Structure formats: structure tokens, C-alpha cells
Chain A
Amino acid sequence: GQNIDQPTEMTATEGAIVQINCTYQTSGFNGLFWYQQHAGEAPTFLSYNVLDGLEEKGRFSSFLSRSKGYSYLLLKELQMKDSASYLCAGGVSGGYNKLIFGAGTRLAVHP
């Protein structure tokens, strides 16, 4: 199967750090993507992990463990504008390409 699970909602304080977890049962995922989506807007690409380990990109980092079917997105120095949904997606490819999305985690950052 290709189920992706992530928490529905999280809250955090401005300036803090938050970790959003994503677990998956995969057949054929060849990488893990994270997208940010503000309500009613397009998903925006944040990060891509194909190998195990941590990828750091400014305030955002993403981690992958393929053997455990586990990923997380770490957001540091939270800002109010980080209030959004964060979508974990598995990439499936092989002469084609598609993303299988989790339901998303709605993050609320408060002062």
C-alpha cells in the first residue's frame, strides 16, 4: 500500500521550533517531498529527500529514514507566516512520475 500518515493539526509559538512527522507504508516510493500550502493557494515545494538523513535549507530541514518509513519536517524560528498546511508526499516513478499526498498537517503559529 501507499498510505501516508501525518498529524491533522499542530500549534506552536512564534520563535519556537516545531517538528511535523510523517510515516508511510510504501511500495515503490523513491523519495519523500514536503510542500507548504496556505489556504486556497497552490502547494509550494519545500524539500525533497531521496537518501536517508537530514537536508537543511534555511529555517526548514527535512529528515528521512527509508527503513523506518519515517520522515519529519523541522521548522525553526517560527514566524506567523508559517501558519499553513504542510503536506508530506511520496514520489513514485519509473517512466512516469506522481505524488501520493498525505492529508496534510495544519500548523497554527501564535504570538
Chain B
Amino acid sequence: DSGVTQTPKHLITATGQRVTLRCSPRSGDLSVYWYQQSLDQGLQFLIQYYNGEERAKGNILERFSAQQFPDLHSELNLSSLELGDSALYFCASSVAFDTQYFGPGTRLTVL
């Protein structure tokens, strides 16, 4: 158990819908990261927040957005969902810019 928590564990929704994934970092960690893992793409970096500020962006679609709240938890919002958005979404956290520890993931299925 890394100490990073993610909810929900599983999410099934329809195309065109919007969902919110939630992540709580390890106690004391200020950085939160989001990654997407699909069967044909491997683990892809989406975005990093540090102490509430966006610090790095990867291949994150415009339909996706994220934020980190004052209590340091983070949410990833996915809208206008498409079949291809079906994937495992992982959150990771680190103290600052060091080793990242991953949460258990949210499995999103878009039907």
C-alpha cells in the first residue's frame, strides 16, 4: 500500500458523459500526478500539480482537466467521453519533485 488513495475503483459510463476521478496523496506529499494507461499506449503522463499549482502538462486532451485543492487532494475531470478514453487512470504523489508513488488506479470503461 503506497498511501495514495483513489476513488472510485471502477467507473462505467456512456459516451458523451462527464466523470470525476479523485486522488488523495500520501501524507506530507505536495506533488500530485495523473497518468493514463491503456492497452495500446502504456503509461502516459497527463499532468502534475505542486502545492495547488499546475507544474507540467503531458499529452492531456482538452476535454480533460484537473485541479489540486488546498487540502492537496486532486481531481481529474474527463468530459465528452469517447470509447477510446477507456483506460486505467493512476494518480501518483511525491514529496516535491522526487520519487513518485502510485495509487491503485481507477478503471474507466466507456460504453
Interface residues of A, Cβ cutoff 8 Å to B: 33, 35, 40-45, 48, 87, 89, 93, 95-104
Chain B positions 88 through 106: 1 when the CB is less than 8 Å from some CB of chain A, otherwise 0: 1010001011111111110
Q: When the two chains form their complex, are residues B97 and A93 in contact, meaning their CB atoms are under 8 A apart?
A: yes
A30 to chain B, nearest CB (A): 10
* Closest A residue, CB atoms, query B96: A97
Contact yes or no, A42 B104, CB < 8 A: yes
Instruction: Chain A residues near B8: list those with CB within 8 A.
Output: none
Q: Which of B55, B90, B94, B96 contacts A42 (CB 8 A)?
A: B90
Tell me whether A99 and B45 are in contact in the complex, defined as CB-CB below 8 angstroms, given that A42-B90, A44-B2, A93-B97 are known contacts: yes
Select which of A40, A42, A87, A96 is within 8 A of B103 by beta carbon. A42
Q: Are B45 and A44 in contact (CB under 8 A)?
A: no
Do A97 and B102 contact each other (CB < 8 Å), given the known contacts A43-B43, A104-B42? Answer: no
Confirm or deny: B86 has a beta carbon within 8 angstroms of a beta carbon on chain A. Answer: no
B residues in contact (CB < 8 Å) with A:
2, 4, 31, 33, 35, 42-45, 48, 50, 55-56, 58, 88, 90, 94, 96-105, 107
Contact residues in A for B102 (Cβ distance below 8 Å): 35, 42-45
Q: Check if A98 sits within 8 Å of B101, measured CB to CB.
A: no
Contact status A96-B105, CB under 8 Å: no
Q: Which 4 A-B pairs have the closest CB atoms?
A: A96-B56, A97-B97, A96-B55, A42-B102
B residues near A44, Cβ cutoff 8 Å = 2, 102
Knowing A42-B2, A42-B102, A96-B55 are in contact, say whether A87-B43 is a contact too (CB < 8 A).
yes
Q: How far is the CB of B75 from chain A (nearest CB, A)?
A: 19
| Bound-state Cα–Cα, A102 to B90, Å | 16
Task: Provide a sorted-by-A list of 25 A–B residue pairs whose CB atoms are within 8 angstroms.
Answer: A33-B99, A35-B102, A42-B2, A42-B103, A42-B104, A44-B102, A45-B100, A87-B43, A93-B97, A95-B55, A96-B50, A96-B55, A96-B97, A97-B33, A97-B55, A97-B56, A97-B94, A97-B96, A97-B98, A98-B33, A98-B45, A98-B56, A99-B43, A99-B100, A101-B44
